[in-house]
A = this chain, B = another copy of it.
Amino acid sequence: MRGRDYRASLRDRRVVHLNGRRVDDLTADPTYAPAVERIEQTYDETFRSGPDATNSLLVAPRSREDLQAQLPLIGSVDVLLLLTYQTLMTLVVAAQRLPESAAHNADRILDFVDDAQRRDVRAALCITDAKGHRRLPPSRQPDPDAYLRVVHRTSTGIVIRGAKLHVSGASLAHELLVMPTKTMKPGEEDWSVACAVPVATPGVTVIDRAYFDPSRPREDQPVSHRESVPSGFVVFDDVEVPHDRVFLDGLTAQAAVFAHSLGLWARLISLANMVRQADLLVGLAELIAEANGIQDIPHVREKIDEMLIHATLLRAGQVAAVAEAQPTRDGYYVPNDLYANATKYLGASRLSVMFRNLHDIAGGLAITVPSTADLASAATGGYLAKYLQAAEGASASERMALFHAIRDATADVYGGWQMVESLQGAGGLYAQRVVTRHHYDMDRAKADARESAGLPPGPQDG
């Protein structure tokens, strides 16, 4: 697919709503335009002709070196390609982990992955259910649709109903990958469903939220224009899915396979984004300190040092997650979940401090800086050019660009999205704790502790 093909592909029957209105043509809407443009660009950049041409990011890694080589890509491609990567990797690993008895499902999965690679389509992940009463299981909810479920089974496929939340890029993708949000128990067969649904299928409605303000100039929101994609609240209102696109239906014991496989990649990607973001925040802090002429003041240096130490710790965790990657049954390599999790926890819990340090260094103009439109205006541009010049060499327009980038990335709607996404993406802090504990070698720690206390080995230390 070339960029122009992608653009054309969006003009289908998809139903997308935003801020109370139906969006008829995404490619013509100012809220979607920047994302469409960026995705188009990536298509053009990664286009290779030939029958076997496949985007190299979309091939599952066969060694630690392969995985290592994907890291820089993870940190630079557009969000939708990243989501597609996450989707396909998850599916490949899930297929590996399904038992022999579900070999049929595994085959369908791998066929779908092959087909998606060949068609070079983009996919979004539909995981989080509406959940209704949080403390009740799916089968005991007043509204059985609180978790997406199979409402009918026909000779040609299944019919599903429910809503999936926080679906990044739903409106801009071709395929929606539906998966269970959690482990399922016997009796929850109808909720144990995984399948692929084209966005433009009848019954699918995407209700979007976007993370920048299209009425303000792009220069006032340089980061969100380039990086953000809308999040969709995706409703499946009795949507038919043919058999060859159903990857799980009723096998409660296998529901967790999808969630676990997803977790591995979700955390790696989340971590890669955190590493990139942390370096970006360090860079912005250093640049604005220089533009303000305060880069040598000790307490400013100390704050930047704290930031770069944090960025380095995140990168160390990423290095460890890849250096200790584990092979699957068939020799694919998956990131080490212990290191990925613990590091993701660190990143999520400390992002707020990164923001605070950056704001402390940047000063109040990070929020009060006038619009770049005021700089362009004949009535006010001269004043801003005169009074926003600071350290030698930093022009007012350069400084304004930095303040806008800082506000956009950390103190405006996209910055808010980052804060919440870093916490909630790939599971909240509590989830990271649980997973890290699960992987941590507590037996060894206890054995060491017993020895240090002069106690004999415990019963389970055998």
Which of A6-14, A39-47, A184-192, A390-398 binds B?
A: A390-398
User: Which of A20, A209, A338, A365 is most buried by chain B, counting CB atoms within 10 A of its CB?
Assistant: A20
Report yes or no: A368 in contact with B416, Cβ–Cβ below 8 A.
Answer: no
Are A380 and B455 also in contact (CB < 8 A) when A319-B339, A433-B305 are? no
Determine how close the nearest CB of chain B comes to the CB of A283; give it in whole angstroms. 3
Report yes or no: B446 in contact with A283, Cβ–Cβ below 8 A.
Answer: yes
Report yes or no: B207 in contact with A386, Cβ–Cβ below 8 A.
Answer: no
Chain B, Cβ-Cβ closest to A389: B132
Copies in the complex: 4
Determine how close the nearest CB of chain B comes to the CB of A281; give it in whole angstroms. 8
Query: Is the C-beta of A316 less than 8 angstroms from some C-beta in chain B?
Result: yes
* Other A-B pairs beyond A207-B383, A282-B440, A412-B412, 11, CB < 8 Å: A20-B373, A133-B391, A134-B294, A135-B294, A205-B380, A298-B299, A305-B433, A309-B345, A352-B356, A364-B424, A405-B453
A442: chain B residues at CB < 8 Å are: 282-283, 286, 308
Q: How large is the interface on A (under 10, 10 to 19, 20 to 34, 35 or more residues)?
A: 35 or more
Interface residues of A in 272-300 (CB under 8 A from B): 276, 279-280, 282-284, 286-287, 292-294, 298-299
Are A420 and B207 also in contact (CB < 8 A) when A316-B339, A316-B342, A391-B133 are? no
Whole-angstrom CA separation of A298 from B305 in the bound complex: 14
Interface residues of A in 360-394 (CB under 8 A from B): 360, 362-371, 373-374, 376-377, 379-380, 383-384, 386-392
Chain B, Cβ-Cβ closest to A289: B134
Report yes or no: A416 in contact with B405, Cβ–Cβ below 8 A.
Answer: no
A405: chain B residues at CB < 8 Å are: 449, 452-454
Binding site for B on A (CB under 8 A): 17-22, 128, 130-135, 143, 145-146, 162-163, 165-166, 205, 207-209, 211, 213, 215-217, 219, 222-223, 226, 231, 233, 235, 237, 276, 279-280, 282-284, 286-287, 292-294, 298-299, 301-302, 304-306, 308-309, 311-313, 315-317, 319-321, 323-324, 338-339, 342-343, 345-346, 349, 351-353, 355-356, 359-360, 362-371, 373-374, 376-377, 379-380, 383-384, 386-392, 398, 401-402, 404-405, 407, 409-413, 415-417, 419-421, 423-425, 428-430, 432-434, 436-437, 440, 442, 444-450, 452-455, 458
